[in-house]
């Protein structure tokens, strides 16, 4: 089955985004808590869940680097992501995309993953903006049951900063772990979230090396409607040709 194509709520306003969703034809949405205002409040959750009926939802965590070295910051981030997991459960959201610290983990981090699964929420790990292949592979090796979101823009950023030296070897190593993709492009130095057509990453070549049968969703993580339409046309053309 082909991946579902969706968009990020980055396209909508910070506070009024739930009421703006009628302006889009997309029914697959990733709620981005960094860009869009949400509240850990049962009344708000119930009201917003009603507005989102009919949408296939996932959520992008507002946390940036969970399990940082500073214990106070780390505890705060862990509390936030647990609240996000509970919010997902209450809203019927099945997938939570999240980032981790830029470094190796140990077994104490498993508690967050177990909590998510206990509430029927699938945690999906995404590498940080400057993707580091060594860190990503270490985390996926340490947690063999953890799914992965391949962010094409972050991959290109990592290539541009010398953190992903052998793209083919990296993609081969994570083959079968990719269940979700963020689609956008950039010039390799800044995480710009530009259209697929407006960057230096040969994204078609990257997707050629990905087992798309394992990918449930491709989210166009873009900031402008015109970039969404350009990228969707290119992606549709690619997927149509790949079917042949």
Residue 36: give its domain's CATH number.
3.20.20.150
Radius of gyration of the chain (CA): 17
Residue 2 neighbours by CB under 8 Å, 6+ apart: 212, 239, 243
Range of the domain at 93: 4-243
Instruction: For residue 41, give the 3-state DSSP assignment.
Output: coil
Q: Mind listing the pLDDT tens digit of every residue in the chain (244 residues)? A: 789 999 999 999 999 999 999 899 999 999 999 999 999 999 999 999 999 999 999 999 998 777 776 888 888 888 999 999 999 999 999 999 998 876 655 566 678 889 999 999 999 999 999 999 999 999 899 889 899 999 999 999 999 999 999 999 999 999 899 999 999 999 999 999 999 999 999 999 999 999 999 999 999 999 999 999 999 999 999 999 998 6
Long-range contacts from 167-173, C-beta under 8 angstroms, 24+ separation:
167/206, 168/209, 170/133, 170/136, 170/137, 171/206, 171/209, 171/210, 172/209, 173/137
User: Cα(112)–Cα(207) distance, rounded to whole angstroms?
Assistant: 30
Q: How many domains does the chain have?
A: 1
């Amino acid at each position: 089955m082909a991946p579902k194509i969706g968009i990020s709520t980055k396209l909508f306003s910070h506070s009024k985004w739930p009421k703006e969703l009628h302006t889009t034809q997309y029914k697959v949405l990733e709620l981005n808590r960094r860009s869009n205002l949400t509240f850990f409040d049962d009344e708000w959750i119930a009201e917003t869940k009603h507005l989102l009926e009919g949408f296939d939802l996932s959520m992008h965590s507002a946390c940036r680097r969970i399990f940082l070295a500073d214990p106070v910051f780390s505890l705060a981030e862990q509390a936030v992501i647990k609240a996000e997991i509970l919010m997902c459960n209450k809203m019927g959201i099945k997938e939570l995309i999240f980032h981790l610290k830029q470094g190796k983990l140990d077994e104490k981090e498993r508690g967050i993953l177990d909590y998510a699964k206990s509430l029927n929420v699938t945690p999906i790990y995404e590498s940080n903006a400057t993707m580091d292949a060594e860190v990503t592979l270490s985390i996926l090796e340490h947690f063999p049951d953890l799914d992965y979101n391949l962010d094409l823009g972050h991959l290109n950023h990592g290539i541009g900063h010398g953190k992903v030296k052998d793209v083919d070897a990296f993609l081969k190593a994570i083959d079968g772990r990719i269940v979700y993709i963020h689609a956008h492009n950039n010039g390799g130095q800044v995480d710009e979230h530009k259209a697929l057509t407006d960057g230096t990453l040969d994204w078609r070549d990257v997707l050629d090396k990905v087992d798309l049968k394992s990918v449930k969703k491709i989210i166009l993580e873009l900031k402008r409607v015109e970039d969404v339409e350009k990228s969707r046309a290119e992606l549709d053309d690619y997927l149509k040709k790949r079917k042949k």
